[in-house]
Amino acid sequence: MKIKTAFLVGAFLCASALYSSPIYWDFPRDGNCHEGLAFSDGITGVLVWGGDDVLKITVGRGDLWDHRGGYPWTEAQSYTNIVAAVASGDRDRLYSLFKKNTPPGEPNNPFLVSLGRVVVKIDGAKLLSGELDPKTGLGSLYYLAKGVTNKISLAMAKSPRAFAVDFPRSQSVSIDTIPAIETPEVKKALGKIGYGPAVRIAPRKKIEGGFYWPMPEDKAVQLRWEMKDTSLFIGTSRGDERMEFPDNCTFEGVRNSSIAQWTEFWKEGASVNVPDSTIQRMFDYGMYRFGAMTDPDGFPAGLQGPWLEDDQLVPWNGDYHFNINVQECYSPAYRGGHFNHLMPLFKMVLSWKERLADNARKFAGVEGYVLPHSVDDRGTCIGGFWTGTIDHGSTAWVASMMFRYVKYSRDIKFLREHAYDFMAGAMRVYRAMMEERGARLTLPLGPSPEWGASYVEKAVGRDPSFQLAAAHRLARDLVEASKMLGVKPDPMWEDVIKRLPLYTADETGIILFEGQRFTESHRHHSHMASLYPFDILDLSDAKVRGTVEKTYKTWVQRGTGEWTGWCVPWASILHTHIANPVAAVQMLHAWNAFYCDEGYGSHHNAVHPGFTTWNDGRSVMQMDGMCASVTAIMEMLVHEVNGKTMYFRGCPKSWKNVSFKNIRLSDGRKVSGSRIDGDESIEVHE
């Protein structure tokens, strides 16, 4: 391998051009909205689908929360009380700690609200196909009318904030709006908790429409459309003031703004070129979707981003899941070089510090921070899953995300002013949970995410390997952060590194916690978190390496029968880090085959049987799997283990010609490289 380090950023010539081709859709796309072409400005999400002469445009907003409900932390929910209840086997006592009585007519938890749909009837048309260019954000639809193929142009931009559709001049169309509250499932559910009808917007000497919809306690929302000449503009707003499109809003203006925005996004970000059309499309479209839903000027992205169904309730309340899902959604930001896309998320979490500090005082009796695994955009706990609520690994993982951002972006100011305090607060809670056990430290009780939550006797245990890995990652990051800031590290952190076990294991390898082997297929690979994402294992140590090999074998033996969509790209990354590139690639092909619909929608449940039992037919779109697949592809090309950079370790030998550009290393440097018929060349830029 030839490695060249350049201290001035220069041009890197790869073996072939690093430009994507458009993504193509066959029409009709009428199964569900997630089969459609996706657009977003980071606030409003649009999905374009339909069939025959009907174009359906589903519209959602990433901030449309009903903030009622939730589970505030109580004094009774102390770690001491939880440990005692589990130790005594008192299930009733344990569940009573997390019980809440919701008043009639109110929701149990906060939730994202579905918005609505714009329906366009294209007279005499038959929709044929669609395409979207990830490098420009521009889309096209093709339809047949009177024996002639015609084109509809699509674009979305954040300046002006509008989704624009441009029709051929001779084409006649009619437009209607369907508020989500008028669909049967949404109306039935929301009508019970205080929702009234949406009010149609009255036209004002324009070809326009839409609706205004009051929320029970939150700001009202509007969805509005307007026809200007041959162009349809769609937008949303919050509040009572009537929404208007700027007078200078034109399709050409939206188109040019989209091109400028996406050109800038791809200019410094990572690009890849692989000899596998499915993997290439997964990267290009997935990175585009990541960029659209996490725009620095938008709202932080939850499980679905802003792409919310208009005819059913949003799955899982649309919440922020911090035990893997948010982490996967934002994972492309690091190697992809899109660090500013992390800031809306971090600002939101930091705005909750007072609430998280109150959680820590009640839970552990210390000044620190505790972030439940499932919350709304105000940090309110979305309850009903007690092992998730007490999963302090969620807090540590977010702290790790913050420090990883600092390392990649070299933003020492953020470390000094924000991340260091959050990291230290999370560590104080972990240390308060630990106790002495001979010469070492131990966590007397903790969960392995999503394992056995219905059974007290198997849901939690001593020294969960996931929690140990998270605590070690946090302690090591704090020591490194102290060096960056030129301050003395807390001796407690170094003591944790020295005396807390790295994992819990037996002859089968790493296990979940004491007394609980990895006995069945499971969707959360959390017991292997010490390998990835936390990277705390020294694989040059023969004993550690032997344990990892046993763990990997046991994990493979248990199979995929209980896997969900988001865990498959994670599995691909684990295969890459184990140096099994064939399995790494095949996992992504399996994710695409079983968890993506025909319009590339990323689902939680399988859309076809044969790979998992999680294929009950429910349409549960989640962006975590799509974003994690983008990260998995970059990890195949470049990843780091214990500070050592590995190139092409996840690329099978059958990939004769493969290249990449501007993938980031953990010290902020950019690396580009190629492998042509086995000859590897790497160039690193400061």
Instruction: Domain count for the chain, please give it.
Output: 1
Residue 120 lies in a domain: yes
Residue 667 has pLDDT above 90, yes or no: yes
- Name which of 591, 596, 626 is nearest 611 in CA terms: 591
pLDDT digits over 608-651, tens only? 999 999 987 777 999 999 999 999 999 999 999 998 999 999 99
- Distances in Å between the Cα of 304 and the Cα atoms of 309, 388, 391, 619 are 9, 20, 22, 12
> Which residues is 200 bridged to in the sheet?
211
Q: Is residue 433 within a helix (H) or strand (E), and if so which, with residue range? A: helix 420-433
What is residue 600's DSSP assignment? -
pLDDT digits over 308-328, tens only? 999 999 999 999 999 999 999
Residue 669 lies in a domain: no
pLDDT digits over 255-267, tens only? 999 999 999 999 9
Query: Strands of 231-238's sheet, edge to edge?
Result: 23-26, 126-133, 138-145, 148-158, 161-166, 231-238, 221-228, 207-213, 199-200
Residue 242 lies in a domain: yes
Residue 5 binned pLDDT confidence (cut-offs 50, 70, 90) = low
- What average pLDDT does range 408-420 have in this prediction? 98
Handedness of CA 47, 292, 216, 309 (dihedral sign): positive
Residue 458 binned pLDDT confidence (cut-offs 50, 70, 90) = confident
pLDDT digits over 262-287, tens only? 999 999 899 999 999 999 999 999 99
Give residues with Cβ within 8 angstroms of 199, minimum separation 6.
211, 212, 213, 214
Enter the tokens of residue 498. Answer: 């020295």
Residue 6 has pLDDT above 90, yes or no: no
Reduce the DSSP state of residue 43 to 3 states and report it.
coil
Give residues with Cβ within 8 angstroms of 519, minimum separation 6.
558
> Which residues is 638 bridged to in the sheet?
647
- What average pLDDT does range 493-503 have in this prediction? 98
CATH of the domain at 257: 2.70.98.50
Q: Mean pLDDT score of the chain, rounded to an integer?
A: 94
Residue 70 binned pLDDT confidence (cut-offs 50, 70, 90) = very high
Question: What percentage of the chain carries pLDDT values higher than 70?
Answer: 96
pLDDT at 452: 81
Residue 222 lies in a domain: yes
Residue 91 binned pLDDT confidence (cut-offs 50, 70, 90) = confident
pLDDT at 18: 44
pLDDT at 26: 97
Residue 394 has pLDDT above 80, yes or no: yes
pTM score of the predicted model = 0.96
pLDDT at 8: 34
- What average pLDDT does range 343-353 have in this prediction? 98
Instruction: Count the Cβ atoms, other than its own, within 10 Å of residue 478.
Output: 23
- What average pLDDT does range 456-470 have in this prediction? 91
* Rounded distance between C-alpha atoms, residue 175 and residue 355, angstroms: 46
pLDDT digits over 197-215, tens only? 999 998 988 899 999 999 9
Residue 519 lies in a domain: no
CB-CB contact of 234 with 223 (8 Å):
yes
What is residue 552's DSSP assignment? H
pLDDT at 90: 86
Counted residue by residue, the chain has a size of: 686
Q: Please, where are the H alpha helices in 460-541?
A: 465-485, 491-499
Q: How far apart are the first and last CA of the chain?
A: 20
Residue 686 lies in a domain: no
Residue 229 lies in a domain: yes
Enter the tokens of residue 337. Answer: 């070089």
pLDDT at 459: 87
* Rounded distance between C-alpha atoms, residue 645 and residue 580, angstroms: 16
pLDDT digits over 287-307, tens only? 999 999 999 999 999 999 999
Is cis: bond before 609, omega within 30 of 0? no
pLDDT at 454: 60
CB-CB contact of 445 with 439 (8 Å):
no
Widest distance between CA atoms in the chain: 84
Question: E-assigned strands of 113-147?
Answer: 116-122, 126-133, 138-145
- What average pLDDT does range 170-190 have in this prediction? 97
Enter the tokens of residue 227. Answer: 């026809």
User: Residue 221 is part of which domain span?
Assistant: 31-66+109-268
Residue 456 binned pLDDT confidence (cut-offs 50, 70, 90) = low
Residue 341 lies in a domain: no
Enter the tokens of residue 12. Answer: 């890197």
Is cis: bond before 160, omega within 30 of 0? yes
Residue 507 binned pLDDT confidence (cut-offs 50, 70, 90) = very high
